[in-house]
Structure 1
Amino acid sequence: MASKTNGVEEWVRAPPPPGTCLSRFTNAIYNHEENSFLGRTPKRWGIVLTFYLVFYAVLGLMFALCMGGLYLTLEPNRPTYLLEESLIGANPGVASRPLYETAVLKYSVENSSEYQLYVDQLNEFFNYYSSERWYTTQKECRAEDQYGFPDNPCIFVKVNKIIDWKPEYYEASDLPADMPEDLVEHIQGLDPSKQKQVWISCEEEKANDTKLEYPWGRGMPKEYYPYVYGNKEYKSPLVAVRLSHPAHNQNVVIRCRAWAKNIIYNKSLKEPSGYTRFQLYIEGNESGNSTEVHT
């Protein structure tokens, strides 16, 4: 410490203690004169450790209280927020099988290894349905006929599960004006006890003259709704759509729509809802077919 002429004192850094580099290094680790370790005496180390012990104990307690309060707000057997209150919402998505990673499901009728991938995928998918009577009684679009591949492939349309979602069914006497005529005739020809279903209609986006057939029926019966959370036996119903002799060497784009009063249909490709699209490209050697470039 040094003094100025005006009487004000100021602190200055003390010169480093004399000695070799090794001795200064060992003193920095443990100083015998001050009885300090890493620059702190046992008392100061006790103060530091006590502070951090109390700090992290309080922090851990606050975290435990927050998590405890969160878990008190959760239902033990079901999600807290459902339908409109949830992030999923109350408008179910529509999906199809088989899945394909490219933009278009593409295969050659002359190369069985290309379409066998999709047959194997569907075999695995339908293992889940092996105990379902409605599935085992079907005669077409099954593993026995390779799901129609390669000439008449079947696609399977489903409505994604939403907990506690209940379809609002159309009445046969009050069907929407934009519903396809063949589906209207199908519904009105059914017994009234079978008219309450989520209906599926499919159409081509381009006129490739592909005939669409529904060997399993055209709807998903009301017995499958609502889906109750935790029901491990529940299996989503499916509608099989068979493409009868689709055109070769050009894109075949199929759009399948689900029909219920509370399924919102948005035709936009940017924000689609209420439908699914399936793109197929079959390579063949038929001379009369188009050779449109696919993307």
Structure 2
Amino acid sequence: MATMKEKRSCGQRCEDFGRFVWNSDEGKFMGRTPEKWVYISLYYVAFYVVIAGLFSLAIWTLMYTLDPYAPDYQDRLNSPGVMVWPNTYGEEIVEINYNTSDKASWMKMTNILNEFLEPYNDTKQLECNKYNCTKGKYFIQDTFSAPHHTKWACPFMQSMLGACSGFDDPTFGYNCSMPCVVIKMNRIINFLPTNNTDHVPYVNCTVLEGQNNVDKIEYFPECAAMDLSYFPYYGKLAQPTYVNPLVAVRFRLVGEKQAKIQCRVVSKKISYENFYDPYEGKVIFQLKAVK
């Protein structure tokens, strides 16, 4: 029978571990002499310095090849999405529901619109965007001629929304049954909405449900167009003062004062029948006023 291995005591094990940490007889620290520890430390320092240098070189090369003003790859939709304000979302679509008799209810809608339109303040726009744009013509810019190596942007002022600007009626019609909504098309860098400058993209709203409850639809600006001078968009870095062109729509609600509305930006290069993206080229929302 093999001799059983002698069981070592706790003191002996601690003594062995202490000898492993520092062996005074052989002058070794944790199994290596101080000279070998210096060599191996220098090796790993040099190894990680080379790795860090190669990684930094790779990042620098990548950043050098990227255009800071536009992404090299755009995996987003070729056709822009469309949104509506006040942007009060329900379970499936935007639900703009308010009570004309409840000030807190319609003030909520008013505050959303005021906050959204803050960058469109007339004074602010005239200060930031001093360039005189040519209406009805694409604003193509091949150089960075604006200050601080940027490109010019055409001003869009809140007053251009007419009766829905909030100037004449600070409540935007939400204290009665004539509410205003604002339609905005999302930005796509270098996107041109049409190949023909004679066909300007415009907003068209139709009543999907509750046709008898909408007596009148008005657009501001009156032509409901998004002028071509706001296209193309060159990116946030190139055009830091750019703001989207807007179209405001005012509805006169009657009867039950509720309807399901679809507002579409009409242009040949803007699609709106994408089943997988309900906001591409159009927006659908529920509008309801109670008293």
Specify the TM-score bucket, using the shorter chain as the normaliser.
Answer: 0.7 to 0.9
| Structure 1: gaps spanning 5 or more residues | 1-12, 172-194, 285-295
| Gap change, CA 1:246 and 1:239, over 3 Å in 2 | farther
1:238 is displaced (CA, Å) by: 0.7
| Amino acid aligned to 1:135 | Q
The answer to whether residue 244 in structure 2 is matched with residue 236 in structure 1 is yes
State the match for 1:221 in structure 2.
227
Q: Please say which structure displays the higher CA radius of gyration.
A: 1
| Structure 2: gaps spanning 5 or more residues | 126-155
1:38 is displaced (CA, Å) by: 3.1
Query: Secondary structure of 2:203's match?
Result: strand
1:198 is displaced (CA, Å) by: 1.0
Kindly provide the CA deviation profile for residues 62-81 of structure 1, in whole angstroms up to 9, marking residues without a partner as x.
Answer: 212211221221124x1143
State the match for 1:276 in structure 2.
283
| Amino acid aligned to 1:212 | I
1:32 is displaced (CA, Å) by: 2.1
State the match for 2:148 in structure 1.
none
Query: Secondary structure of 1:71's match?
Result: helix
Identity %: 27
RMSD: 3.0
State the match for 2:150 in structure 1.
none
The answer to whether residue 147 in structure 2 is matched with residue 142 in structure 1 is no
State the match for 2:117 in structure 1.
126
The range that moved more, 258-267 or 125-134, is: 125-134
1:213 is displaced (CA, Å) by: 1.7
| Amino acid aligned to 2:192 | K
Task: Spell out the pairing of 1:1-40 with structure 2 (5 A cutoff).
Answer: 20=12, 22-40=14-32
Task: Spell out the pairing of 1:11-160 with structure 2 (5 A cutoff).
Answer: 20=12, 22-76=14-68, 78-81=69-72, 86-103=74-91, 104-131=95-122, 132=125, 134-136=157-159, 138-144=161-167, 145=169, 146-150=171-175, 151-160=177-186
| Gap change, CA 1:246 and 1:225, over 3 Å in 2 | farther
When normalised by structure 2's length, the TM-score is 0.72
User: 1:168, 1:262 within 8 Å by CA — same for their partners in 2?
Assistant: yes
Query: Secondary structure of 1:254's match?
Result: strand
1:212 is displaced (CA, Å) by: 2.0
State the match for 2:269 in structure 1.
262
Q: Distance in 1 between matches of 2:257 and 2:162?
A: 30
Q: How many residues align?
A: 244
Higher relative CO (Cα under 8 Å, sequence separation at least 6) belongs to 2
Task: Spell out the pairing of 1:172-211 with structure 2 (5 A cutoff).
Answer: 196-209=199-212, 210=214, 211=216
| Amino acid aligned to 2:107 | Q
1:248 is displaced (CA, Å) by: 4.4
User: 1:29, 1:38 within 8 Å by CA — same for their partners in 2?
Assistant: yes
1:273 is displaced (CA, Å) by: 2.1
